[in-house]
Amino acid sequence: MPEEFKKEIKIINKYGAVLKKFAGYMVINEKHLPYKKKDIQEATKMMLVQYLVANQNYDILITGYSQLGSFQKYQNVSSDDMLDPDPKKYLIKSKKHKKILDKANQEQDKLYKEINLLTKVLKEQIKKKLKSKTDMEKRVTAYADDGNEAWFTFQYSPKDVFTLSFSGAGDDAGVWIVKGGTLIAKNTICFLLRNDPKQKLQKLIKKKFMPKYGAGGSINVDPKKTNSSVKGKISNTVLYYFLKTAQDSKNTKDYLKNINSS
């Protein structure tokens, strides 16, 4: 799983541990949640995208998302708490917890429908991208995307050119953009570090790129414009997002504005 989703993985794992601890409970006090409900929901959605792209079984995410409805501002209620051999006592217990049980069930149903609708939409997006054969992006004048190198040069005009490089590891891991066709430090116009405390790169990907461009994809480029072993496409997820934004921008100035880095 990509390093960018380390936070989401941590959230999902801690939440999963709580579900395991309270297995068999019909209602669970909200105080037992390791994070806020909305944070767990967002983390689940992010991981769902990754599971769909990787074609992995995502049932556990669907179940966990809907089970958030069982967490309420109420005492814990287990299945055993509802049992009683005495019919009268059973009815008393059922009546006592009926309101909160109905609320928990309704919320679980709502969340189940919500996450399944999102899954359907994401599947359709991925299917379209796999089927679509886009025209070659001729403005990419040089590139490498082979697992060892990840960069491309984009030309809006002969005088308006930038080069973007992505590194996923090391102290300087992140996105580096320079003016022109050569990666020279003095020509730097943008630097988005992965270890930036403000998480600017991660927020850009999760809050802007993913909602707009979906789960990633591939862009056809000229196979003659690279010396790397992989030719004719750019499919690294980070490169894909930044290249799509370049396609949607008027020039380099507009591009920097669109990635909030001007």
Same-domain status, 186 and 250: yes
Same-domain status, 99 and 80: yes
Judge whether residue 195 has pLDDT over 90. no
DSSP the chain: --GGGHHHHHHHHHHHHHHHHTTTEEEEEGGG-SS-HHHHHHHHHHHHHHHHHTT---HHHHHHHHHGGGEESS--EEHHHH--SSHHHHHHHHHHHHHHHHHHHHHHHHHHHHHHHHHHHHHHHHHHHHH--PPP-TTEEEEEESSS-EEEEEEEETTEEEEEEEE-SSTT-EEEEEESSS--GGGEEEEEETT-TT-HHHHHIIIIIHHHHTT---EE--GGG--SSS-SEE--HHHHHHHHHHHTSSSHHHHHHHTT--
Task: Name the band, by pLDDT with cuts 50, 70 and 90, for residue 125.
Answer: confident
Same-domain status, 106 and 56: yes
Question: How many structural domains compose the chain?
Answer: 2
Same-domain status, 237 and 220: yes
For 4, list phi and psi in degrees, rounded to 5: -60, -20
Q: Let me know: does 225 contact 142? Beta carbons within 8 Å.
A: yes
Q: What's this model's pTM, rounded to 2 decimal places?
A: 0.55
Same-domain status, 147 and 254: yes
**Region 176-199: what's the mean pLDDT?**
93
Domain end (from 81, 109, 131): 131
Q: Which domain holds residue 163?
A: 140-258
Q: Let me know: does 82 contact 93? Beta carbons within 8 Å.
A: yes
Same-domain status, 102 and 27: yes
Same-domain status, 30 and 65: yes
Q: What is the pLDDT of residue 45?
A: 94
Same-domain status, 34 and 111: yes
Q: What is the pLDDT of residue 1?
A: 54
**Tokens 């591939």 map to which residue?**
218
Q: What is the pLDDT of residue 2?
A: 57
β-strand partners of 163: 153, 178
Judge whether residue 230 has pLDDT over 70. yes
Domain end (from 108, 131, 154): 131
Domain end (from 131, 161, 180): 131
Same-domain status, 185 and 158: yes
Helices 6-21, 59-67: axis angle to 10 degrees equals 70
Q: What is the pLDDT of residue 243?
A: 96
Using one digit for the tens of pLDDT, what is the confidence trace for 127-153?
A: 776 665 557 899 999 999 998 899 999
Q: What is the pLDDT of residue 88?
A: 81
Euclidean distance between the first and final Cα of the chain, in Å? Answer: 31
Mean pLDDT of the chain: 90
**Region 170-190: what's the mean pLDDT?**
92
**Tokens 């050569």 map to which residue?**
182
Using one digit for the tens of pLDDT, what is the confidence trace for 41-96?
A: 999 999 998 899 888 999 999 999 999 999 999 999 988 877 777 778 778 877 88
Same-domain status, 78 and 174: no
Task: Name the band, by pLDDT with cuts 50, 70 and 90, for residue 160.
Answer: very high
**Distance from chain centroid for Cα 226:** 30
* Amino acid in the structure at residue 181: G
Judge whether residue 262 has pLDDT over 50. no
Same-domain status, 151 and 198: yes
Q: What is the pLDDT of residue 111?
A: 97
Which residue did the predictor score with more confidence, 83 or 158?
158
Same-domain status, 84 and 44: yes
